[in-house]
Amino acid sequence: MDAILFFVFAALAVGCAVSLVLQSHPIASALSLIGVMGSLGVLYLLLGGEFIAMAQLIVYAGAIMVLFIFVIMLLNAGAEPPGPKAKYLKFIGAPLLIVLMGLIGYFVQTQMGATEVVKFGSKSDFGSPASVGMSLFTQYLLPFEVTSVLILIAILGAIVLARKEID
Amino acid sequence: MPQLPFPSAVPISYYLILSAILFVLGVAGFIYRRNIITVFMSIELMLNAVNLSFVAFSYKFAKPDGHIFSFFVMVVAAAEAAVGLAIILTVFKNKQTLQIDDVDSMKL
Amino acid sequence: MQLWLIPILPFIGFLINGLFGRRFSKPVINAVAVGSVALSFLWVLKCFMAGVPAEEPHIERYFTWIASGDFTVGVDFMFDRLNSVMLFVVTGVGLLIHIYAVGYMSHEGGYYRFFAYLNLFMFFMLTLVLGANFLILFIGWEGVGLCSYLLIGFYFLEKFAGDAGKKAFIVNRVGDFGFSLAMFLIANHFGTLDFGAVFEKAKAMPVEHSAGFLTAVCLLLVLGATGKSAQIPLYTWLPDAMAGPTPVSALIHAATMVTAGVYMVTRSQLMFNNAPIALEVLAIIGLATAFFAATIGICQTDIKKVFAYSTVSQLGYMFLGLGVGAYSAGVWHLMTHAFFKALLFLGAGSVIHALSGEQELSQMGGLRKKIPYTFWTLMCAGLAIAGFPLTSGYFSKEAILGAAFEHHEWMFWVGVFTAGMTAFYVFRALFLAFFGEYRGHHHPHESPFVMTIPLMVLAALSLAGGLLFNIPHWLEPNAPPEHEDLKLKIIAIGSGFLGIVLAYYMYVVNTNLPVKIANTFSAVYRVIYNKYFVDEAYDSVIVHPLEEGSRVLLWKGIDAGMIDGTVNGVGHTARGFGKILRWAQAGNIRGYAAWVAFGSVLVLIAIGLVGGSK
């Protein structure tokens, strides 16, 4: 069961990612990205990360992507016209990426080798909100507080950058 | 249920390879697309791939640390998205274009 | 005895006049300049009265200057009989010339500068004479060369004066090079530069009849002497040095600086005695120079140039005297020459002053009624230089010629012929200037007393100096008396007389004769008139190649080409590299991302090769 779920949602994620890269209209790319995030959320659940899965769906897919879509609509971005064919990109870029992919795969296989399988619920509740919260508020308290300041700064920055000039 | 010809659970390395595939796809989108917003979304894709990798490792060691890291990545991604989109708005206001190739005033 | 006061007093005069003279009035400058030399002269007399040592010199060691391992050089002054003669001449004649210069330079610009340089020269010359080791002598040697340059180029607004000053300094430098090499050899071999120590050791060395160490050293010293004392081949600077003011010509280029070579050789006589080859070379150079310069002097038309070549010729006589072993005769001639040559130059200056700057003999004539004091004093000088009996020049010249006869007879005959020529050209100049009709356009007026009184003092010394000061007795009181050959004396006197009579005939009685002779032997005349084209020869063989080589090879080739090229080339190369590397910064964000991806691939490969991170 775990395997089937994995393969289905993995294929979904990869398909949506490919669609993100290949679609010409930004809105289509945005919707594909939402699809990727949703699939990843399920995969997080499989890996026992309940809190993260929910956070992904609520924050990432629900807030950030909505922000993206708002901006696309604000800017009235249209479909991207097919641009000049840059041959060198095709010659260098594709092999480069394939090589990158191959390398990572190779390392994963050799370093990780024989690893255990992922079975839903087989391990303790390390990913539950209680466990994450406990860790967040004791061991990682400082980064937590710092990120709240970070968000504050981001809000200020966004407001300053995007407001209309008051003449 | 009949024995299906493939295993019932997958090893963790499969998750990592999936993460790699998504990451490479993000890089491809970053390099090949010309619209700024699409490029930005490719960045988000890369971040998600990395998140998956973190969570997989967290499962391996049965600790919440990976989840926490992933959580922080999400927070930072949110902040970055906010500010980045604001910057895109400013660029659009100044240059009236969303083509990334037109933002080249740093050219020597 | 406080010998250091003798040079220091003029030096203080130099400092005061040099630093503050611009604001002083002329009487104050005079007082400082003349006063310092006068005080120095009085101090010399005081040292005389304290007794001049005969055997061992009186040495005052002030402080150690160089102490390097075993080699030490101290600032030492000495005082002995040889020294005392030089000191007397330098300060005495120097004082008279300073007084004269007060009148001569009275309407020239740069008054304080002139006297400052003159005092500086006195300081260096006195240091040269008082030095008790080769290095102190060399300091004075170089210093008088410097002052010579400064004073020759005194009228620096004239290009010719500056060129003459440079020529003097550079030609002197060649001689100084020889002197320096000699000093190095001495220091290396004897381990010291002190006169006493060096000569003790040199005396103990065997006489060298073939090339040896002492011969090498002495020949190098001779080279130095030829530079400073204007002998062949380094004499060409002296005639050009006449571009300086006349008191300078009198003091530096007649009485004192040019005699430094003679003094130096005489001081080193213990070394030269053991190197007879060097002495022979010295004598031949001196004789050749005397003859050669006399021939040139016959045809010169500028009064100062005539006397300049006369100086070169008389210096040749002095060297001849030294070379045949008659050191004291050479020194005697040094002293008498100082008297009558300074007088000749100062008198010429008086004539020039009377004619408001005219120096060409062709523009003079008939001046004996108009400037009588100058005329009579110059006549005394002429008699002295011609060797008229009982004048000072007669005694010293006889001594040299007698010693030359003892050495090699042919040297005597050449010397006698040269004496005749000397008398001829000096009286030629005097007759052209003072007899006949005045050929110029100025209004001659007699010089003021401040100029004529030194002339008169010098005239008295020229006439009576030989009788008053018997230098051979002074320097070698223990030497046996010379047997005096009457025949030689009569021959020498006779040649002098012949010269005077011939000059009288050609320039007073039959004034067309010189022109006719010049036209008959026109080629010979032209060669001699142009000083045998020696300057031109030096120019094309030495000066011009050096200049061209320096400009083309060293300047354009090495400096501009290689060094500048290298330095600029580095800049060019850096810029070129930058131009190539600039293509990486295209402002293309996607390009940057591609490079990042490429870089990460490389990093991964590297990690893989290393063996992974565990």
- For the record, the structure tokens of C239 come out as 């005639």
Q: Does residue C575 sit at the B interface (CB-CB below 8 Å)?
A: no
What are residue C379's phi and psi, to 5 degrees?
-60, -40
Put simply, whether C567 touches B (Cβ < 8 Å) is: no
Residue segments in chain C with a per-residue pLDDT below the cut of 50:
none
Contacts of C586 in chain B (CB under 8 A): 104, 107-108
Rounded-to-integer distance, Cα A122 and Cα C501, Å: 145
The angle at the Cα of C538, spanning C535 to C542, to the nearest 5 degrees, equals: 155
Are residues A78 and A94 located together in one domain of the fold?
Answer: yes
Residues 6+ apart with CB under 8 A from B90: A161, A162
Are the Cβ atoms of B108 and C597 closer than 8 angstroms?
Answer: no
Q: Which of residues 55-94 of A touch B (CB under 8 A)?
A: 55-56, 59-60, 63-64, 67-68, 71-72, 74-75, 77, 80, 83, 89, 93
C209 and C134 together in one domain: yes
Contact C333, C317 (CB under 8 A): yes
In a domain, residue C132? The reply is: yes
- For chain B, how many helices (H) and strands (E)? 3, 0
Which of A107, A108, A110 is best to mutate for the C interface (most C CBs within 10 A)? A107
- Tell if the CB–CB gap between B101 and C590 is shorter than 8 Å: yes
The closest of C121, C5, C131 to C73, measured between CA atoms, is C131
**C608/A107 CB distance under 8 A:** yes
Residue C2: per-residue pLDDT: 83
Is residue C571 less than 8 Å (CB to CB) from chain B?
A: no
- Position C614 scores a pLDDT of 54
**Chains with 3 or more CB pairs under 8 A to chain C:** A, B
Residues C418 and C474 occupy one common structural domain: yes
B23 touches chain A (CB under 8 A): yes
For the residues B5-13, what does the mean pLDDT come to? Answer: 77
The Cα–Cα gap between C506 and B56 comes to 130
Residues making up chain B, counted from first to last = 108
Three-point CA angle B87, B91, B94, nearest 5°:
140
Note whether B105 contacts C590, CB cutoff 8 Å: no
Residues A40, A119, single domain; the answer is yes
Query: Which DSSP category does A28 fall into?
Result: H
Asked whether the predicted pLDDT for residue A87 surpasses 80, the reply is no
In angstroms, the CA C83 to CA C603 distance is 89
Residues C1 and C88 grouped into a single domain: yes
Cβ of C587 within 8 Å of Cβ of B108? The answer is yes
Q: What is the ipTM of this complex?
A: 0.87
Query: Left, alpha or beta for C78 (phi > 0: left; psi -120 to 50: alpha)?
Result: beta
CATH number of the domain bearing residue A6: 1.20.120.1200
* A31 and A94 fall within a common domain: yes
pLDDT at position A127:
83
- C587 contacts in chain B (CB < 8 Å): 103-108
**Residues of chain A contacting B78 with CB distance shorter than 8 Å:** 59-60, 63-64, 151, 154
The minimal CB distance from B107 to the residues C585, C590, C593 is found for C585
Range of the domain at A135: 128-167
Task: Note whether C100 and C214 are same-domain residues.
Answer: yes
Whether residue C423 is contained in a domain is answered as yes
Q: Above pLDDT 90, what percent of chain B?
A: 42
Write down the pLDDT at residue A27: 92
Q: Which numeric CATH code is attached to B34-98?
A: 1.10.287.3510
A65 shares its domain with A102: yes
Q: Is the per-residue pLDDT at B6 higher than 70?
A: no
How many CB atoms lie under 10 A from the CB of residue C539? 14
What's the first-to-final CA gap in chain B, in angstroms? 67
Write down the pLDDT at residue B72: 94
Torsion, Cα C384 C389 C392 C396, to 10 degrees, reads 110
Q: What is the pLDDT of residue C123?
A: 94
- pLDDT one-digit tens code per residue, A39-48: 999 999 988 8
Total structural domains within chain A: 2
Q: Are residues C440 and C547 in the same domain?
A: no
Q: What is the pLDDT of residues C322-355, one digit of tens each?
A: 998 888 888 889 989 999 899 999 999 888 888 8
Please state, in angstroms and rounded to a whole number, the distance separating the CA atoms of residues C576 and C566: 15
Q: Does residue C114 lie within any of the structural domains?
A: yes
Element (DSSP H or E) covering residue C556: none
User: Which pLDDT score is estimated for C468?
Assistant: 81
Nearest to B107 among C586, C590, C593 (CB): C586
Nearest CB neighbour to B79, from listed A83, A140, A150: A150
Looking at the fold, whether C333 and C426 belong to one and the same domain comes out as yes
Residues of chain B numbered 47-86 and touching chain A (CB < 8 Å): 48, 51-52, 55-56, 58-60, 62-65, 67-68, 70-72, 74-83, 85-86
Query: Is A98 in CB contact (< 8 Å) with chain C?
Result: no
Of C594, C601, C607, the CB nearest to A99: C601
Do A113 and A163 lie in a common domain?
Answer: no
Domain of C565?
536-576+588-610
Report CA-CA distances (Å) from C525 to C296, C312, C414, C529: 10, 20, 21, 6
Burial of B52 from C-beta contacts in 10 A (0-12 / 13-18 / 19+): buried
Domain identity same for A38 and A104: yes
Q: Is C205 exposed, middle or buried (0-12, 13-18, 19+ CB in 10 A)?
A: middle
C351 shares its domain with C432: yes
Quote the CA–CA distance of A49 and A44 in Å, as a whole number. 5
Pairwise CA distance, residues C173 & C175, whole Å: 5
Question: Are A74 and B89 spatial neighbours (Cβ–Cβ below 8 Å)?
Answer: yes
Element containing residue C354 per DSSP (H, E): helix C327-354
User: Which pLDDT belongs to residue C580?
Assistant: 83
- Determine the Cα–Cα distance for residues C379 and C373; give it in Å rounded to an integer: 10
- Per the structure, the count of domains in chain C is 3
List the Cα angle A134/A136/A142 in 5-degree steps. Answer: 135
- Please, are residues A9 and A39 in contact by the beta-carbon 8 Å criterion? yes
Do residues C525 and C547 both lie within one domain?
no
Partner chains of B (3+ C-beta pairs under 8 Å): A, C
DSSP A80: P
pLDDT of B55 over the 90 cut:
yes
- Enumerate the residues of chain C whose CB falls inside 8 A of the CB of residue A96: 594, 597-598, 601
Indicate whether C443 and C337 sit together in one domain: yes
Neighbours of C415 (CB within 10 A): 26
User: How many Å apart are CA C323 and CA C335, to the nearest integer?
Assistant: 18
CA distances from C597 to A100, B23, B24, C162, C221 (A): 8, 11, 10, 75, 82
Say whether C131 sits in a helix, a strand or coil: strand
C194's tokens: 């002190």
Q: How many CB atoms lie within 10 A of CB A21?
A: 22
What is the torsion angle, in degrees rounded to the nearest 10, for the CA atoms of residue C451, residue C455, residue C457 and residue C462? 160
Residue B7: Cβ within 10 Å count: 10
Smallest Cβ–Cβ distance between C601 and the set A96, A106, A110 belongs to: A96
- Residue C335, classified by CB atoms within 10 Å of its CB into exposed (0-12), middle (13-18) or buried (19+), is buried
Residues A76-92 have a mean pLDDT of 67
Question: Are A157 and A79 within one domain?
Answer: no
Are both C517 and C555 inside the same structural domain? no
Q: Taking 60 as the threshold, does the pLDDT of residue B1 lie above it?
A: no
Query: 3-state DSSP call for residue C68?
Result: strand
Cα A90 to Cα C142: distance, rounded to the nearest angstrom:
83
